[in-house]
């Protein structure tokens, strides 16, 4: 199998040949084409998409397969299904179902980079808690985590928590020893606590700039503290609602090679505007402009309704970076965070996994995914949408 398109960094036309699920050759050729090729996108935070929820009490293996299918339509080949704050049994059911689907379906197993558990060990304060339900927030419990990890078959790769909660710093140290990423998020911690969390082993900020009070002291505060900490990677939601363009620009500049674009997509991503009832909230509103928020608290966002490839399109359209740099923030950078860049992931080179997507990049800066390839197999083609 072979594909011909322009390399996403060099702009030169290349022919990519695949064998046994890996890139066998990548050579420059003299041929005109309007298609581009880049490594498959990696989304480190997906709660659901296209009407399919990864956090419902009725989550099934079929739902997870459909989430993977929708992600393929957006050029995503690897992702972290995200299980959020909830009752213990509901969270266990979701973790168990994701693991079961990975065991049954090789395509899903490859797509799932690792399970991300966001909460329930987060701040209970209004603002930092975000859209997470207060009654389900609790202190870190190592035995509960070990139960998750056992049910997941060792697939939990990232946990988001607030370092100020009792026992959180010791919990972070244990996560580091297990090779699980401890991510700071939904926190109201003081700067000194952020530093202690990093010393304990925290290595990422989950959707930095969000999960925060609407109004905080200008400095110091927990956003500046994380932004200034060079040891922390940072995820950014570039949907145009979670972060103003000027704020996002400064944050990307500050984090540089440790900036990661993520979607934080929920099940309503891709659906029509309107009022919805979700598994986690009785009343949310999806505005025509894509803003998704709690009906009773318009300042509190209920996740994102924008897929990752649109976030890439946005940061380029806003003049924050080049298309190549934007794609790096959604491929190489997350692979490096998970220490997979040297293991054939997040790259497009000879020997890497044949995970890539082809796209067109119109003059009006519109990114259209044309085809997605996973382990050398075409899993989505735009023409098939009819």
pLDDT for residue 364? 66
Omega cis (within 30) before 101: no
**63-82 residue pLDDT tens:** 999 999 999 999 999 999 99
pLDDT band at 296 (very low <50, low <70, confident <90, very high): confident
Cα dihedral 340, 343, 347, 351 in deg (nearest 10):
-170
User: Is 52 a domain residue?
Assistant: yes
pLDDT digits (tens, 9 = 90+) for 131-140: 899 999 999 9
pLDDT tens per residue across span 191-200: 999 999 999 9
pLDDT per residue as tens digits for the range 323-356: 999 999 999 999 999 999 777 899 999 999 999 9
Q: Answer yes or no: are the C-beta atoms of 119 and 45 closer than 8 Å.
A: no
Q: What is the pLDDT of residues 238-263, one digit of tens each?
A: 999 999 999 999 999 999 999 999 99
Report yes or no on 327 lying in a domain: yes
pLDDT in tens, 298-314: 878 888 999 999 999 99
Q: Is the pLDDT of residue 221 over 70?
A: yes
For residue 15, report the phi and psi dihedrals to the nearest 5 degrees: -110, 120
* Structure tokens that stand for 139 in this block: 């202190």
DSSP-assigned states of every residue in 180-194 = PEEEE-S----HHHH
Pairing verdict, β 367-374 and 377-381: antiparallel
The H-assigned helical ranges of the chain are: 61-73, 88-104, 106-111, 142-151, 168-178, 191-200, 222-228, 245-255, 308-317, 323-328, 332-337
- Report pLDDT for 36: 97
Full domain range(s) for residue 276: 41-344
Residue with tokens 């060792």: 154
Handedness of CA 24, 30, 33, 36 (dihedral sign): positive
Q: Is the pTM of this model over 0.95?
A: yes
Average pLDDT over the chain reads 95
209 found inside a domain: yes
Question: Which DSSP string do the residues of 226-239 spell out, in sequence order?
Answer: HHH-TT-EEEEE-S
Residue 33 lies in a domain: no
Segment among 47-51, 123-127, 301-305, 333-337 with least mean pLDDT: 301-305
What pairs with residue 315 in β-bridges? none
174 within some domain: yes
Residue 246's alpha-carbon distances to 163, 242, 253, 309, 366, in angstroms, are 28, 12, 11, 20, 21
In a domain, 375, yes or no: no
**Domains: count for the chain:** 1
pLDDT above 90: percentage of residues in the chain: 90
Determine what percent of the chain is predicted with pLDDT higher than 70. 99
Q: Residue 172 is part of a domain; what is its CATH number?
A: 3.20.20.140
How far apart (Å, rounded) are the C-alpha atoms in residues 157 and 112?
10
Binned at pLDDT 50, 70 and 90, residue 277 comes out as: confident
371: in domain: no
In a domain, 96, yes or no: yes
Task: Report helix, strand or coil for 137.
Answer: coil
- Whether the CA torsion 307, 81, 75, 348 is positive or negative: it is positive
């Amino acid at each position: 199998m072979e594909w011909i398109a322009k390399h996403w960094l060099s702009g030169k036309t290349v022919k990519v040949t695949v064998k046994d699920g890996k890139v066998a050759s990548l050579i420059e050729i003299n041929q005109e084409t309007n298609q581009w090729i880049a490594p498959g996108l990696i989304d480190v935070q997906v709660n659901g998409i296209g009407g399919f929820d990864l956090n419902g009490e009725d989550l099934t293996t079929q739902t997870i397969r459909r989430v993977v299918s929708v992600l393929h339509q957006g050029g995503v080949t690897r992702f972290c299904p995200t299980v959020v704050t909830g009752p213990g049994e509901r969270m266990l059911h979701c973790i168990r179902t994701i693991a079961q689907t990975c065991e049954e379906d090789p395509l899903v197993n490859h797509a799932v980079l690792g399970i991300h558990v966001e909460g329930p060990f987060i701040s209970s304060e209004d603002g930092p808690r975000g859209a997470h339900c207060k009654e389900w927030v609790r202190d870190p419990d190592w035995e509960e985590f070990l139960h998750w990890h056992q049910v997941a078959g060792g697939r939990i790769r990232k946990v988001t928590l607030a370092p100020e909660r009792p026992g959180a710093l010791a919990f972070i140290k244990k996560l580091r020893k297990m090779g699980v990423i401890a991510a700071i998020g939904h926190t109201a911690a003081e700067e000194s606590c952020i530093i202690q969390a990093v010393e304990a082993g925290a290595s990422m900020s989950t959707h930095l700039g969000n999960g925060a009070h609407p109004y905080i002291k200008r400095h110091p505060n927990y956003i500046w503290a994380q932004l200034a900490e060079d040891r922390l990677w940072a995820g950014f939601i570039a949907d145009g609602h979670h972060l103003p363009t000027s704020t996002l620009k400064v944050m990307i500049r500050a984090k540089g090679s440790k900036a990661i674009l993520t979607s934080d997509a929920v099940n309503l991503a891709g659906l029509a505007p309107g009022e919805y009832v979700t598994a986690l909230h009785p009343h949310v509103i999806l505005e025509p402009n894509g803003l998704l928020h709690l009906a009773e608290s318009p300042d509190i966002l209920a996740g994102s309704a924008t897929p990752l490839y649109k976030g890439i399109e946005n940061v380029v359209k806003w003049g924050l970076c080049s298309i190549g740099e934007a794609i790096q923030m959604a491929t190489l950078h997350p692979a490096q965070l998970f220490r997979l860049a040297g293991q054939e992931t997040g790259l497009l080179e000879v020997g890497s996994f044949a995970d890539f997507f082809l796209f067109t990049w119109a003059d009006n800066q519109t990114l259209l995914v044309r085809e997605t390839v996973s382990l050398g197999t075409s899993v989505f083609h735009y023409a098939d949408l009819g």
